[in-house]
Amino acid sequence: MTRLSSILLAFTLAATYASAAVLHFGLGTGMGRRAPAEVITHCTVPGTVALTFDDGPYTWMTEISDAMTNAGANGTFFFNGNNWGCIYDEAMAARVKYAYDHNHQVASHTWQHLHLNTLNEHQLHVQMWLVEEAIYKITGAYIAFTRPPFGEYNDLVLEVAGMRGQIVANWDFDSGDTGGLTGAQSLNQYRTLIAAQPESILTLNHEINPDTVQILPQVIADLQAAGYRLTTLADCLGVEPYQFVSEPSERDASWTCEGRA
């Protein structure tokens, strides 16, 4: 597929959502490019912590979501579309909706968790658009944040993300839960961090690691005991979580990962 046809395809899909089309492609300025996406690695509101969870939707969504909800905390999920499974599968879509319905922010970790620096412009649009579309259909929210897999980006990634109205979000604290740390070691890293009293914290965690799920209530308790407010990434930056919000769609034949990237 040529780049133009991919943009037209995306446009045709987006055009079914009138406001999406405008925000998506900046119709007000023709196909004019926006500035490259902003990259953020820190929360800017003092006293806040953004707990973020990558690589879902996955098996332990309810446990993670409930651990936060029960403690009066909100978090942020960066979802893939087709990595561990297809985001449109009943159970997966239900997890996305569960997170959204429980006041957590939902965002994109791209469709297949590829190394974005290896992709061309067309491929980047596809990797980003397919997740935006899926989350929009499932929740009714048009996302405004993308986390690149492995935290990797280049100028082209930022240009494409900027066209799509995305903020590119990395982190300032890695819990180490994909770096081979045990839950106990990860909890120790958190405790060392808290002892250093940073003004705010933006943490990377992974929804797919059972150790992360297990230590989460203690991590939350320790952060709250230190006086932090655990909130969404958008809220810890003082910006809107979504480009716009409408109603979820009904499941139909388009809710599939078949024949997509």
Ligand X SMILES: *[C@@H]1O[C@H](CO)[C@@H](O)[C@H](O)[C@H]1NC(C)=O
Binding residues for ligand X, rule: CB under 6 A, are: 72-74, 103, 229-231, 235
- Residues in a beta bridge with 142: 244
CB-nearer residue toward ligand X: 32 or 72 = 72
Partner touching 74 among ligand X, Zn ion, none, CB below 5 to 8 Å by kind: ligand X
Partner touching 54 among ligand X, Zn ion, none, CB below 5 to 8 Å by kind: Zn ion
The C-alpha atoms of residue 68 and residue 73 are separated, in whole angstroms, by: 5
Partner touching 229 among Zn ion, ligand X, none, CB below 5 to 8 Å by kind: ligand X
Question: Minimal distance in Å, beta carbon 48 to ligand X?
Answer: 8
Give the amino acid at 8.
L
CB atoms within 10 A of CB 41: 12
Residue 47 structure tokens: 């006293």
CB atoms within 10 A of CB 232: 23
3-state class of 122 per DSSP? helix
Nearest alpha carbon to residue 145 among 175, 111, 178, 170 = 170
Q: Following CA atoms 125, 130, 133, 136 in sequence, which dihedral angle do they give, to the nearest 10 degrees?
A: -110
CB-nearer residue toward ligand X: 201 or 257 = 201
CB-nearer residue toward ligand X: 74 or 209 = 74
Cβ–Cβ under 8 Å, residues 193 and 257: no
CB-nearer residue toward Zn ion: 55 or 211 = 55
Question: Minimal distance in Å, beta carbon 64 to ligand X?
Answer: 15
The C-alpha atoms of residue 249 and residue 255 are separated, in whole angstroms, by: 10
Which positions are catalytic? 54, 206
Give the amino acid at 41.
T
CB-nearer residue toward ligand X: 82 or 105 = 105
Question: Minimal distance in Å, beta carbon 74 to ligand X?
Answer: 4
Q: Following CA atoms 132, 208, 148, 164 in sequence, which dihedral angle do they give, to the nearest 10 degrees?
A: 10
Partner touching 177 among Zn ion, ligand X, none, CB below 5 to 8 Å by kind: none
Question: Minimal distance in Å, beta carbon 257 to Zn ion?
Answer: 18
Question: Minimal distance in Å, beta carbon 69 to ligand X?
Answer: 9
